[in-house]
Amino acid sequence: MKTTIIRKNYIEQLQKLKDEHIIKVVTGLRRSGKSTLLEMFAQRIKKSGVPANRVQEYNFEKPIFLKEYTWFDIYNSIMEKTDKENMNYIFLDEPQQIPEFERLIDALFVEKFIDLYVTGSNAYFLSGEIATLLSGRYITIHILPFSFKEFVETQSNTTLNKYELFNNYLYETSLPQGVLLRNQGVDIQNMYIQDVYNTVIEKDIQQKYNIQNIRSFDNLSKFLMAAIGSAVSPSNISKAMKQDRQDIHHNTVEKYIQYLVNSFVFYQVNRFDIRGKQQLATQEKYYLVDIGFRNLKLGKFQYQDLGHILENIVYLELNRRGYQIWIGKIGEYEVDFIVKNAENKFEYYQVTWSMSDTTTAEREIRPLKSIDDNYPKYIISTDMITSEIDGIQYVNVVDWLLNESKGIDAESRGKSRGKSRGKILELITDNPKISVLEIAETIGLSIKGVEKNILQLKKDGKLSRTTNTKSGEWIVNK
């Protein structure tokens, strides 16, 4: 029996935009689920009561029109089937196969009785002439392979717990069809991943850009896969490859990387100076769209550097949740991710396999403590302990990945802070002359953490003080 996973997040985004006079463009890697998403949404529209004749679906990777058909012929064919008195829902899957496809999209868009949905597998789909022609007329929904939550949904018959399932997710492909093929055996699954990778590399990159030195391009791709989560530059990559007897100029490296990013194989993340509040232009990091590609290309080295594999998974999830993402720099320290949500508020994330080692713990905590603001700060790891210490939230990665909220356990974080403030009020009620240091030692918070809570209690009108001198007393306002 075929398993169908409803991609709720993307469906909800499309539903919000339904009937809005704007082109809905779904982008993403080949075989990441774009076509299936459009099929699901088209079926949803039909089930809502819209007659089937007002829903037209076209997959241009299939020979549905004669080769000699122009964009105008296709336009006329679509228009002949439309109901001019009611809204029609037109789905165009990979229309870039058509010469001058942008003119087809523009011609359909101007019709007030057409709600238009389009997919594209390459960032250049929305570049150049079409970007100029459709400027201000489209909105992009970027689709990624299965999240861990979706992966778990495919394993409904398993006896494995969520942590054991995560161990599988960590090492396997998350491409939808690849996940659904896992029960057919590793060999079949790997054949599928290889075919997808070859199609992307050959069709979207090598043929399009006429790459002659395929060996160098493939080696560069593997270099980036091995370096996920590490800061790199074209010059450094060029030097490293030359030491391995591969002569490739840094300008060529830069172009090859851009091809991979434009085809959604890798995602580039720039650095951001937290104190200077500006984006930095060098030492970017790159994250891979699917760990299955890494396993396929790196072979026996695939299981090295679990920390960076975990970081890659967290990056993709932050991307799914709609954040703007940077690498944070504060002085000599680095924060794995600084993100900005739809409300223009920041959050800080450190990702590590485990905090059990003292040196590792200090390395992860120090940058977050150096940030002098009140935005949420998190450390994500495979550790089972979840807590909040000195304003830093420690979260288990499996629980975070399965959390449906945009942020990390926002409700629990609010409850934790509420309990801390409640304890502070209780201590002050019992002893109005209690010091901040005594409060900190009693409830296990840092002095800075207590001061932040007291400041908020004052803002809320729950706490005041007779005088700021040592002889003053706290007053709990009822």
CATH code, 456: 1.10.10.10
DSSP 43-105: HHHHHTT--GGGEEEEETTS--S-TT--HHHHHHHHHHT--TTS-EEEEEESGGGSTTHHHHH
Burial of 192 (0-12, 13-18, 19+ CB in 10 A): buried
Query: CA angle 467-472-476, nearest 5°?
Result: 85
Q: 406-437: buried (b, 16+ CB within 10 Å) or exposed (e) per residue? A: ebbbeebbeeebeebbebbbebbeeeeebeee
Burial of 85 (0-12, 13-18, 19+ CB in 10 A): exposed
- Domain final residue, candidates 365, 382, 408: 408
Residue 312 CA: distances (Å) to CA of 170, 289, 316, 346, 368 = 10, 9, 6, 20, 20
Domain count, the chain: 3
- Residue 424 token pair: 């502070």
Task: Report if residue 159 sits inside a domain.
Answer: no
Strand partners, 279: 272
Distance, in Å, from the CA atom of 235 to the CA atom of 346, rounded to the nearest integer, reads 32
Q: Which amino acid is at 289?
A: V
Q: What is the CATH number of the domain that holds 54?
A: 3.40.50.300
CB atoms within 10 A of CB 361: 15
Place of tokens 């064919």: 77
- Residue 263 token pair: 């085809």
Distance, in Å, from the CA atom of 199 to the CA atom of 76, rounded to the nearest integer, reads 32
DSSP 390-443: TTEEEEEHHHHHT--SSSSSHHHHHHHHHHHHHHHHHHHHH-TT--HHHHHHHH
The answer to whether 236 and 199 have CB atoms below 8 angstroms apart is: no
Task: Report if residue 165 sits inside a domain.
Answer: no
Task: Report if residue 469 sits inside a domain.
Answer: yes
474 in helix, strand or coil? strand
The answer to whether 95 and 2 have CB atoms below 8 angstroms apart is: no
**pLDDT of res. 406:** 40
Angle of the 162-171 helix axis to the 291-298 helix axis, nearest 10: 60
Distance, in Å, from the CA atom of 243 to the CA atom of 265, rounded to the nearest integer, reads 26
266 and 339 inside one domain = yes
The answer to whether 476 and 425 have CB atoms below 8 angstroms apart is: yes
The answer to whether 231 and 335 have CB atoms below 8 angstroms apart is: no
- Domain final residue, candidates 408, 428, 445: 408
95 and 243 inside one domain = no
Q: Which domain holds residue 420?
A: 412-476
402 and 430 inside one domain = no
466 in helix, strand or coil? coil
Distance, in Å, from the CA atom of 109 to the CA atom of 98, rounded to the nearest integer, reads 17
H-assigned helices in 101-142: 101-109, 128-133
Task: Report if residue 187 sits inside a domain.
Answer: no
Compute the residue count for the chain.
Answer: 478
Distance, in Å, from the CA atom of 331 to the CA atom of 370, rounded to the nearest integer, reads 9
- Residue 331 token pair: 């002085």
**pLDDT of res. 404:** 38
273 and 240 inside one domain = yes
The answer to whether 38 and 117 have CB atoms below 8 angstroms apart is: yes
| pTM for this prediction | 0.82
238 and 125 inside one domain = no
Task: Report if residue 128 sits inside a domain.
Answer: yes
223 and 338 inside one domain = yes
Distance, in Å, from the CA atom of 314 to the CA atom of 380, rounded to the nearest integer, reads 9
397 and 430 inside one domain = no
Distance, in Å, from the CA atom of 279 to the CA atom of 276, rounded to the nearest integer, reads 9
Distance, in Å, from the CA atom of 79 to the CA atom of 96, rounded to the nearest integer, reads 19
- pLDDT lower than 50: segments of the chain: 1, 404-410
C-alpha distance across the termini of the chain, in Å: 62
- Domain final residue, candidates 360, 388, 408: 408
375 and 454 inside one domain = no
346 and 417 inside one domain = no
Longest dimension (CA), the chain: 91
The answer to whether 233 and 282 have CB atoms below 8 angstroms apart is: yes
Q: Which amino acid is at 279?
A: Q
426 and 371 inside one domain = no
233 and 357 inside one domain = yes
Task: Report if residue 196 sits inside a domain.
Answer: no
Task: Report if residue 184 sits inside a domain.
Answer: no
348 and 223 inside one domain = yes
Task: Report if residue 229 sits inside a domain.
Answer: yes
- Residue 218 token pair: 């493939």
The phi and psi torsions of 284 (rounded to 5 degrees) equal: -75, 165
